Structures are given as structure tokens and as C-alpha cells.
Amino acid sequence: MVESLKVVSHLANVGDAKTLIIHPASTTHQQLSEEEQQASGVVPGQLRVSVGIEDLNDIKEDFQQAFEKSAELVQAPVSG
């Protein structure tokens, strides 16, 4: 889903003006064990979003298209 975003950036920045998304378990909290991550409130499928100053409709549309693309990939038959 994250790779499908076009407006939202996949970065771990603080204080940026643009909308950002990260996966804490594999970025900001990767040095912690699974138990330590859980204790700090980080779960494996969690994504963290920091909303920037882009037009809200652009952000919403970006997430919508990324969710739709992800759903298509999940539902696609596996060829082999």
C-alpha cells in the first residue's frame, strides 16, 4: 500500500510540511525486540501518518487509490 502512494512520501522526518508515512516496526523501532515494540505501542501492521499542508482532498484521494490498488493485489489470483 505504501509504495502505491503518490502524494504521500515514505519518509521518517519530523517537522516536514508534506504528508509522510512510515512503518514504525521496520524503521523507528526496528532496534527493539517484538516484546519491546509491543510495550511501546508498536504493532507489526501499524503505519504512522503525519499529515502535511497539501490539499486534504489530494491526500484522501491518494490514500483511496493506494487502498484500492492494495485490495486488487490481495484479491488477484496467484499464477504459477
Q: Which domains does the chain have, with CATH numbers?
A: 2-75 (3.90.1150.10)
- Dump pLDDT digits (tens) for 22-78: 999 999 899 999 999 999 999 999 999 999 999 999 999 999 999 999 999 888 776
- pLDDT at position 78: 67
Q: Is the pLDDT of residue 80 over 90?
A: no
Reduced to 3 states, what is the DSSP secondary structure of residue 27? coil
Q: Contact 69/62 with Cβ under 8 angstroms?
A: no
pTM tops 0.85: no
pLDDT for 71: 92
> What are residue 9's DSSP bridge partners?
20
Q: What is the predicted pLDDT for the residue at 77?
A: 74
Find the radius of gyration of the CA atoms of the chain.
15
For position 41, what pLDDT does the model report?
Answer: 94
